[in-house]
Copies of this chain bind each other. A is one copy, B any other.
Amino acid sequence: MTYTASVVGGSGFTGGELLRLLDGHPEFEVVQATSRSYERKTVGHQHPNLRAMDLRFTSPTELDPVDVLFAATPHGVSMERIDAFREAADTVVDLSADFRLGTEAQYDEWYDGHERPDLLADAEYALPELNRDNLAGADLIASGGCNATATILGLKPLFDAGILSGDEQVVVDVKVGSSEGGAGGGAASSHPERSGIVRPYAPTGHRHEAEIEQFLGCSVSFTVHAVDMTRGAAATCHVFPDGPVTKKDLWSTYRESYEDEPFMRTVAGGGGVYRYPEPKAVAGTNYGEVGFELDPGNKRLVVFSAIDNMMKGSAGQAVHAANVALGIEETAGLEFQGLHPVGAP
Contacts and interface: CB of A to CB of B under 8 A. Distances in A.
Interface of A: 13, 16-17, 20, 23-24, 41, 45-53, 169, 171, 173, 175, 177-179, 181, 183-185, 187-200, 203-205, 219-221, 223, 225, 227-232, 234, 236, 238, 240, 265, 267, 270-276, 278-285, 287, 291, 293-295, 297-298, 300, 302, 304, 306, 310, 335-345
B198 A223 contact: no
A299 to B, nearest CB: 9
7 contacts: A192-B230, A197-B280, A200-B304, A230-B341, A283-B339, A342-B343, A343-B343
Nearest to A200: B276
Contacts of A231: 339, 341-343
A344 B228 contact: yes
Nearest to A285: B49
Nearest to A269: B203
Contacts of A200: 236, 275-276, 278, 291, 293, 302, 304
Contact of A198 (B185, B199, B278): B278
Contacts of A285: 49
Number of copies: 4
Contacts of A169: 169, 240
B276 A203 contact: yes
Contacts of A185: 187, 190-192
Contact of A278 (B17, B197, B234, B279): B197
Given A185-B191, A295-B204, A342-B231, A48 B16 contact: no
A229 B270 CA distance: 25
A273 B345 contact: no
A269 B58 CA distance: 23
B337 A230 contact: no
Given A185-B190, A195-B191, A203-B276, A20 B337 contact: yes
Contacts of A41: 271-272
Contact of A230 (B175, B234, B338, B343): B343
Given A302-B203, A345-B343, A194 B196 contact: no
Given A228-B228, A271-B41, A302-B204, A50 B337 contact: yes
Given A185-B190, A200-B304, A225 B175 contact: yes
